[in-house]
Amino acid sequence: MSSARDLAAAPGLSQIADVLAAGGDRLADLLERAEARLVEVVDGYGAALVGHVGDTLAAGGKRLRPMLVFIAAGDAAGEELVSAGVAVELLHMATLVHDDVLDSAQLRRGRPTVYASGGRTAATATGDLLFSRAFSVLAATGRPDAARALSDASSALARGELLQREDAWSQDLVAERYIERCRLKTAELFAAACRLGALLGDPGAAAAGALAAFGERIGLAFQIFDDVLDVAGPAERTGKARGMDLLDGTVTLPLILARRHDPRLAALDIRRAVTTPEAAMEVCDRIAGTGALDEAREVALTYVAAAKERLGTVTGLGERQRSLLVLVADGVVERYA
């Protein structure tokens, strides 16, 4: 089970340490309670399945989405809030496990995936269990508005995955379609985390829309930076080899932008040309050489700026919480630096 100290040391967003320090005892306590609940809610489903879920929990992560729930809630610290944070993280974990099945991924954060260690059937069942437990935990709060927020995010995730499958290997994918896919697959869950915090915490329903808009923009930036790191990031930092998106046919913003500058990339059929990790890394180097990574980074930065601007419209949120959300936004940028 991860502690607040473990979260601060998690790779990919080291500014979490600053958020935890500024959040004080309340934020640390909520994260500790959420971590304990994550272990509890997946117990009792048979040794094999629980073992796979336990491996997924042990892989840890930044717990960024529960953190957004807790910060967006103001000073509230009740059990409903812990349940919301747990539900959001369970849903996120479920999507990762299912993504690994779809991508036949062997590693996640430098550790063997459930797909690698248990096979397709076990991984699919593990993801399904995590999905079901997410809604079970949130339903226990008796808040239909909260359940609706998570359900909407879950539907968006599925639609985003369908778009990604439809766009696989595309040679003419445009940036607007890519951004919509990112919104559905990633940003909607960030938005739901902030919305849940508002609904179950101090800001209330009146602030839920504005906080969700903040979360959506942060989620878009997060995904763009993640896609940049797939091209540029060293394996010891990302937990996977460069170019894995290219290998499974996922066209992301760096390639879309690079195609505008490099006719050879524009004509490249990645399905036929990128069939080995070595070939993927060669294409990554070519993408980097066009300046597309800096362009993609600038796009992400516009979303971070828009997220911070949206915070100015939130009512019922204290200055301390507002500052913490700004730190989270800055942390999304810092993970790429």
Backbone angles phi, psi at 14, to 5 degrees: -65, -15
Tokens of residue 172, six digits: 């003419």
Does some domain include residue 51? yes
* pLDDT reading at 46 higher than 70: no
User: Which is nearest to 163 in space by CA: 144, 141, 185, 148?
Assistant: 185
Number of domains in the chain: 1
What's the whole-number mean pLDDT along residues 178-204?
A: 97
* pLDDT reading at 296 higher than 70: yes
Which of 4-8, 48-52, 241-245, 272-276 is predicted with the least confidence, judged by mean pLDDT? 4-8
Backbone angles phi, psi at 208, to 5 degrees: -65, -40
The residue ranking higher by pLDDT, 50 or 73, is 73
Query: How many of the other CB atoms lie within 10 Å of CB of 191?
Result: 28
Q: 143-170: b or e for each residue (b if 16 or more CB lie within 10 Å)?
A: beebbebbeebbebbebbbebbeebeeb
Does some domain include residue 262? yes
Does some domain include residue 72? yes
**What is the C-alpha separation between 68 and 325, in angstroms, rounded?**
8
Q: What is the pLDDT of residue 337?
A: 54
Angular region, 269: left φ>0, alpha ψ -120 to 50, beta rest? beta
Taking the alpha carbons at both ends of the chain, their separation in whole angstroms is 29
Q: What is the pLDDT of residue 236?
A: 63
Angular region, 12: left φ>0, alpha ψ -120 to 50, beta rest? left
Does some domain include residue 187? yes
Confidence of residue 60 (pLDDT cuts 50, 70, 90): low
Q: What is the pLDDT of residue 335?
A: 67
**What is the C-alpha separation between 110 and 106, in angstroms, rounded?**
9
HSE, CB side, 13 Å, CA atoms: give it for residue 286.
21
CATH number at residue 130: 1.10.600.10
Q: What is the pLDDT of residue 115?
A: 84
Does some domain include residue 336? no
Q: What is the pLDDT of residue 12?
A: 47
**What is the C-alpha separation between 29 and 34, in angstroms, rounded?**
9
Does some domain include residue 38? yes
Does some domain include residue 337? no
Q: Is 65 exposed, middle or buried (0-12, 13-18, 19+ CB in 10 A)?
A: buried
What's the whole-number mean pLDDT along residues 218-233?
A: 94
Q: Which residue has the tokens 């500790």?
A: 32
* pLDDT reading at 246 higher than 80: yes
Confidence of residue 312 (pLDDT cuts 50, 70, 90): confident
**What is the C-alpha separation between 333 and 226, in angstroms, rounded?**
10
pTM for the predicted model, two decimal places: 0.92
* pLDDT reading at 7 higher than 50: no
Which residue type is seen at 243? G
Confidence of residue 48 (pLDDT cuts 50, 70, 90): low
Confidence of residue 3 (pLDDT cuts 50, 70, 90): low
* pLDDT reading at 4 higher than 70: no
Mean pLDDT of the chain: 89
Domain that holds residue 174: 4-330
What's the whole-number mean pLDDT along residues 50-79?
A: 85
Does some domain include residue 67? yes
pLDDT tens digits, one per residue of 72-88: 999 999 999 999 999 99
